[in-house]
Each structure stands twice: as structure tokens, then as C-alpha cells.
Amino acid sequence: MQILVTGGAGFIGGHLAEQFVEAGHDVVVLDNLNEFYDTGLKERNVAAGRDASDRGGTYEFVEGDIRDADLVADLVGDADYIYHQAARAGVRSSVANPRLYDEVNVDGTLNVLDAARDGGIERVVVASSSSVYGKPRYLPYDEEHPTTPVSPYGASKLAGERYACAYAEVYDLPVVALRYFTVYGPRMRPNMAISNFVSRCTNGDPPVVYGDGTQTRDFTYIDDVVEANLTLLETDAADGEAVNIGSTDTIEIRTLAEVVRDQLAPDLDLTFAERHDADAEHTHADTSKARELLGYEPSHTIREGVGKFVEWYRANREWYEPLVLNS
């Protein structure tokens, strides 16, 4: 099976590409290696995909941009499945440059969808985000919750997924949008809360919590996200739908910092800093729709996942830690 993974040098895309190759599929990764965070980590993701080709299918990396419609059309033309993970990430950064997020996350997604509707594609899986929900009217968020994003990033992700679902309706294009809830795990982006907490505690520095720490998050371990995506190679039950992909529980950011601190440096106190206005107050996923359509059963609690990440961090500290410290 031929699979195109856009953004396949990123965190989620890199894990997807690696697992698809391991499963014997032929994978093409499109990524522009932008410098939102250290490209050394993206090169590690590419290396992991190439290494997997010794044990499974083939892996090809193409450096390019989803804003290049001709390049996207060429690559889509050879694919059976498209996993569209490419996006400009970062809630806070989107506030400073909203038009860039529109160009990449909306126009880039339209390039993928336009190419796919003319190409006989089996399925397009679009990476969306819990940021589409915005301020909660109730929790947990189910897919019927109003979508009122509070950042340009969230608005751009909502526009991309709405275009995807509209293409499913008017062009009969098999599309699924997966709304991820704060994904973490090995090779995660170095500027995320968990990686920062682990790095600081490992080096004897107190973890920094933004705001009073009572914000809650639904953190999702990368293996659970990969499993949901793999299922979409086998079922059309979710075509035309937006589906939450979250975890088994939520946790306050302050408590998360304490969990990490207690594992690594129990004598440290927490440090608090000013919270950014664009940060969500609470996220919590209702995953019953994913369970019904995809048989999705998240297998990692936050404490289990953090423990696995700490173990991985220690084993890979020599190369990963400098990326976190410089992020």
C-alpha cells in the first residue's frame, strides 16, 4: 500500500511513518523541515523511518512544502492513503503571525484535498486539534460541542477540518479528521510542558508552571494516537467525521509538574510564571465516538505515559536534552 504522510518529519507524522513502514507499507514523507523547533529532532524522525525500511516496507523523504500545489499533486497522484499531518504548530506563535497559520494550515490543506479529490484516493486522514473547541461550555468535549477557538492556530485547524468534511460531502472524498488532545511521548516537540518539566527536573531546576497551574489537560500518549490512525487503514466507519482522540484521564498542569518532580527531583519546589492569554483553560476529551467507530481504547494513563517518557528521556538524554534546553 502506498501512503503519503505530510509533515512526516514531525512528532506525530514521524511516528506514523515509522509504524506504516514497519507494517510493510511503502511510505513517502513530505516535510519542509521548518525551524519552528530544532530540525535535528526532525532529522531523527526521518532516520527512524529509514531504519524501519530494513524491517518492512520502503521509505522515501521529500523535502518540500504543502503550499506547493504542483508538488502536492505529484505526490498525491501516487498514493492510496494520505495522512495529512503537516501544519504550522504553536498556539502562542499563531498570535504573532496569524496569516502564516492560514497559509499553511488552511491553504496547504486545500492543496492536499484538491489533489486527493481527483486522484482516486482510498482515504485522507486530517490531523485536527482540541484547540478547535475553545472555551468549554461543558466537559468533557464531545464532537457536538460548539467550536469557538480562541487562537489563530485553533481557527486555522478548524477551517482545515471543516474543508475536509465539506469535501467528503460534496466530492464524495473519503476523509476523517482526528482531533488530537495534547499528544506526548518519545521524540515529542521539545517546547512542550512535559519535555520541559522532565528536562528541568533532570538538571536540578524547578519546573515552571504558567498561571496558577489549575488548568487541566487531556494528554494522549503517542502509541494510542498511532493505533487510531492504523485502524483507519482498515475501516471506513468514520468517513466524513471529526473524531476526538484523547486519553483516559485529565490532570491539572500543577499536578503534572508534581508528578514529574516527584519522579526525578522530589526536593524541588514548583516555580510559577505568567500565563499566556491564548492558552486553553481546560481540555478533556469524550472519546465515546472514537470507541464506537474505531474501537479506540486509550491504553496509557498520564502517570503511566509520563513514566515511559522519563525512561525514554534518560536513554536518549545525550542528543534530546540539548534540543529541549535550546527550544
Active site amino acids: 153
Q: Which of 80, 114, 120 has the alpha carbon at shortest distance from 233?
A: 80
Phi, psi for 111 (deg, rounded to 5): -60, -45
- Give the Å distances, CA to CA, from 82 to 25, 76, 162: 12, 7, 17
- Give the Å distances, CA to CA, from 280 to 187, 237, 307: 24, 31, 25
Instruction: Give the separation between CA 190 and CA 316, rounded to whole angstroms.
Output: 13
Residues in the chain: 327
List helix spans (H) across the chain.
11-22, 39-52, 69-76, 91-96, 98-102, 108-117, 152-171, 193-202, 222-231, 253-264, 288-294, 302-325
- Give the Å distances, CA to CA, from 306 to 62, 173, 181, 237, 324: 33, 38, 15, 32, 16
